[in-house]
Structure 1
Amino acid sequence: MASKSYKYQAQVLVREYLLADPFVPCTSVLGGIFMCKMAYDLTQLISPFYYKGYVSLTKIQRIEWNNRGMSSAHAIFITIMSLYFVAVSDLFSDRLEGLLTFRRSNLSTFTLGVSVGYFITDLAMIFWQYPSLGGMEYVLHHFISVCAIAYAMLSGEGQLYTFMVLISETTTPVVNLRWFLDTAGMKRSRAYLVNGVMMFFAWLAARIFLFIYAFYHIYLHYDQIKQMHTVGYLLSLVVPTALFVMNMMWFAKILRGLQKTLAKRQ
């Protein structure tokens, strides 16, 4: 009887709260901010047990260490959910009728809200410790991301392309691991070399090839994109292009760094 009662209460919560459209954006953004706080605190709590040198790091290094743990948690979450919506779910499949650019669900909206909460939190931390956690390129990246994701969340337009772009967050844990290894004094280790190779291929796949596919998909469905609101239409074209340019600039740096690392090993 108790299990049935808990099951009923859970169903009521989902039906009347999580699936109530007016509450989804607000609760999801707050949930994203709460998730960031939990991930930050958890990283701060467990890091001394896995890396003894954590306590000897400077204050700003510990802040960045915890911040990167937070960003990795968001990256894992949003990558899994984005892959689900793009590759597994029927929400954006051709089997359903209606325009792809106007499809949404409460779950997809909630997922985008969590991501908005993360980018708001991370952007606030960047401003708080500016420029220790990142320069203007990070501010620009996060500002563009917040605008595009928030619009897709609130309007329901272009969510498919938003999730396509968010799959690129799969590179974040690899990039963060490189910083962790460097800070831990393992720059000459085999793990650092393997990480550099992994980062190169992950970036190539998730931030270069994936964006090229997204542009191709936009081209094939341009007649549907033209029916979006002007703001959504511009965001669907401008944001992926701006992020792709930034990705290419960062990829050039990754390639030069990998070449230097391999040259030192010879």
Structure 2
Amino acid sequence: MSLKSQAGELLKYLVLSDPVVPYISIPAGVLASKLVYDLTDMISSVYFKSYSNLSRIQRVEWNNRAMSTVHAIFITAAALYMVFLSDLYSDQYFGPITFRNSTISTFGLGVSVGYFITDLVMILWFYPAIGGMEYVIHHLLSLLAVAYAMLTGEGQLYTYMVLISETTTPGINLRWYLDTAGMKKSKAYLINGIVIFFAWLVLQMHVFGQFLVFVVPSILWIMNLTWFSKIFRGLKKTLAKRQ
């Protein structure tokens, strides 16, 4: 085997081998977050006059929200692809959807884990300046859920379905930018609020749909079991009276 072929096989093993995907994707998520943070600081100091007038904590949050926005765009695109376009969860494959995963799906979740780790560390470091306890709890729960799906390969489809909710994050961050830049009375601020409202409305319908699909059948099953127990007790009483 030539040196080029050996290098290709090694690269294929390191990048595409499932056991090592988390060890590549998580650091990639951390490094990407740091890169976005530093680039935002550099670009904002040159092209946004209001940036230099911000306090140190406001500049930290400004850059942090840029990091959050880029992650939201990335994970939303990945989630939409995995849920609606990828054939990983189509009927052409056998086996439960719950246990289906691929290198790409695992890598995407790993990058998200890297982001959540970075953002959580920043929130704790500057606590409570850029986020209170609700942010800490949200990030811890998100980190645990996404990391579990990434490491075990279980429930990745449902994890991506939930991550579609990151669609609203860029709009929320833009609203903060407009407010911080003194544009709260601008038309852009008004349009942003309307877009966020309808985006949340659509997402809540999506969540309600998931509720109907996954929760309601369980509730109905419990109710049916309860009614069955009552019918069984009634039958026992009827038989006891006959005796």
Q: TM-score, normalised by structure 1?
A: 0.76
Tell me whether 1:211 sits opposite 2:212 in the alignment. Answer: no
Q: Which residue of 2 aligns with 1:63?
A: 60
CA spacing shift, 1:211–1:160, aligned 2, 3 Å: same
Look up the equivalent residue of 1:22 and give its one-letter code: P
Q: Report the AA paired with residue 68 of structure 1.
A: R
3-state SS, counterpart of residue 104 of structure 1 = coil
- Report what 1:105 is aligned to: 102
Structure number with larger C-alpha Rg: 2
Name stretches of at least 5 consecutive residues in structure 1 with no aligned partner: 223-266
* One-letter amino acid matched to 2:210: A
Percentage of matched positions with identical amino acids: 59
Other-structure match for 2:224: none
Is 1:133–2:133 an aligned residue pair? no
> Contact conserved, 1:82 with 1:167, CA < 8 A, in 2?
yes
Which residue, out of 31, 37, 42, partners 1:40? 37
Whether the aligned pair in 2 keeps the contact of 1:171 and 1:203 (CA below 8 Å) is yes
Counterpart residue number, 1:246: none
Deviations 1:213-261 (A, max 9, x none): 2233435997xxxxxxxxxxxxxxxxxxxxxxxxxxxxxxxxxxxxxxx
Task: For structure 2, list consecutive stretches of 5 or more residues without a partner in the other structure.
Answer: 219-243
Equivalent position of 1:259 in the other structure: none
Q: Which residue of 2 aligns with 1:52?
A: 49
Helix, strand or coil for the counterpart of 1:186?
Answer: coil
**Is contact 1:161–1:214 with CA below 8 Å preserved after alignment?**
no
C-alpha deviation, 1:12, in angstroms: 3.9
Secondary structure, counterpart of 2:90 in structure 1: coil
Number of residue pairs matched?
216
1:146 is the counterpart of 2:143: yes
Question: 1:9–1:130: structure 2 CA closer, same or farther, 3 Å change rule?
Answer: farther
2:75 to 73, 78, 87: 78
Partner of 1:181: 178
Q: Does the 8 A contact of 1:28 with 1:110 survive in 2?
A: yes
Q: CA RMSD in A?
A: 2.0
2:165: which partner in 1?
Answer: 168
Relative to the length of structure 2, the TM-score reads 0.83
Amino acid corresponding to residue 111 of structure 2 in structure 1? V
Say which SS state the counterpart of residue 85 (structure 1) adopts. helix
Distance 1:198 1:10, change over 3 A: farther
